[in-house]
Structure 1
Amino acid sequence: MRTNLNIIADHYAASTRQDMAAMMADVAPDVRWTEMAGFPCAGTWVGPEQVTKQVFHALGAEWSSYRFELQELIDAGDRVIALGLYHGTYAKTGKSMQARVAHVWRLEAGKIVQFEQFTDTLLVAQAMS
């Protein structure tokens, strides 16, 4: 049986491959996905369809070479914390950014039920202006 840590590691591996179906494979139908205030796709999105459209498609449309670089995964039982870096170039300005980020995941019965992002939104905003 896959652990919560394995599920999140698999999500990030799928992200690196740009495999959206695999990224969403373990996401619960009623997942609550929160992008931090001040981030380009800020808000809480409910369900895989909203997350895909409002987060991943939006970032892909506005940023070139946008990616998350995983540096560490921390197993906290029903929560998994990921630490890493965002990288990308904002298409409209041509400015690049790199920002530290923490992702907090909550899982129940092998499904991702909650995600919350914490990042330095000033660095992102500077690339966008």
Structure 2
Amino acid sequence: MSNRDVVDKFYKATQSGDAAAILAALHPRFEGWVAPGMPSVKVTQAHGPEAALAGIWGPVFRDFAIAPFAEEWFDGQYDTVIVTGHYRGTARATGKHVTAEFAHIWHIADGKLLALHQYTDTWYWREALSAAA
């Protein structure tokens, strides 16, 4: 399985809302860094798969029906994959649509996702949660 395939499994798991598949894609030593200002998340850095699910993706999925959709892929050195694309979905409380650009820097080890650095425009996420028209 290629590094791109490993990353793509994660994207497909988030698109289908499959928490078990998300956890299965993550290395036991997974580390995640989230864009500062990201709404809903409980942490900006997570250590371990369960902590990432509980502190990052769980709260996001609670507040948003949303997933990342990859558009461009770049293979880096040392088992690194960089992906750009857009998150697309809606805020559950307001029904407002979200389209937010992202860049993900993934590090892969042993056929699993070892680390993620997430960059996104958090303004669009926050705006979707706003009750103002």
Q: TM-score, normalised by structure 2?
A: 0.84
CA distance in 2, matches of 1:8, 1:68: 11
Matched to 2:121, the amino acid is D
Distance apart, 1:83 and its partner CA: 1.1
Match of 1:85 in 2: 86
Match of 2:3 in 1: 4
Judging by fraction of residues, say which structure has more strand: 1
Distance apart, 1:111 and its partner CA: 2.7
Matched, 1:35 2:34: yes
Q: For the aligned residues, what is the CA RMSD?
A: 1.7
CA distance in 2, matches of 1:3, 1:50: 26
Match of 1:75 in 2: 75
Instruction: Show structure 1 runs of 5+ residues with no match.
Output: none
Query: Deviation digits for residues 15-42 of structure 1, max 9, x if unmatched?
Result: 2232222222231222111111011125
Q: Percentage identity across aligned positions?
A: 29
CA distance in 1, matches of 2:93, 2:5: 37
Matched, 1:59 2:60: yes
Query: Deviation digits for residues 73-116 of structure 1, max 9, x if unmatched?
Result: 22213111111111232233332221111111012232322101
Matched to 2:7, the amino acid is I
Q: TM-score, normalised by structure 1?
A: 0.86
Instruction: Show structure 2 runs of 5+ residues with no match.
Output: none
Distance 1:82 1:109, change over 3 A: same
Distance 1:17 1:79, change over 3 A: same
Aligned length: 127
Partners of 2:80 and 2:108 within 8 A in 1: yes
Stretch deviating more after TM superposition (66-75 or 112-121): 66-75
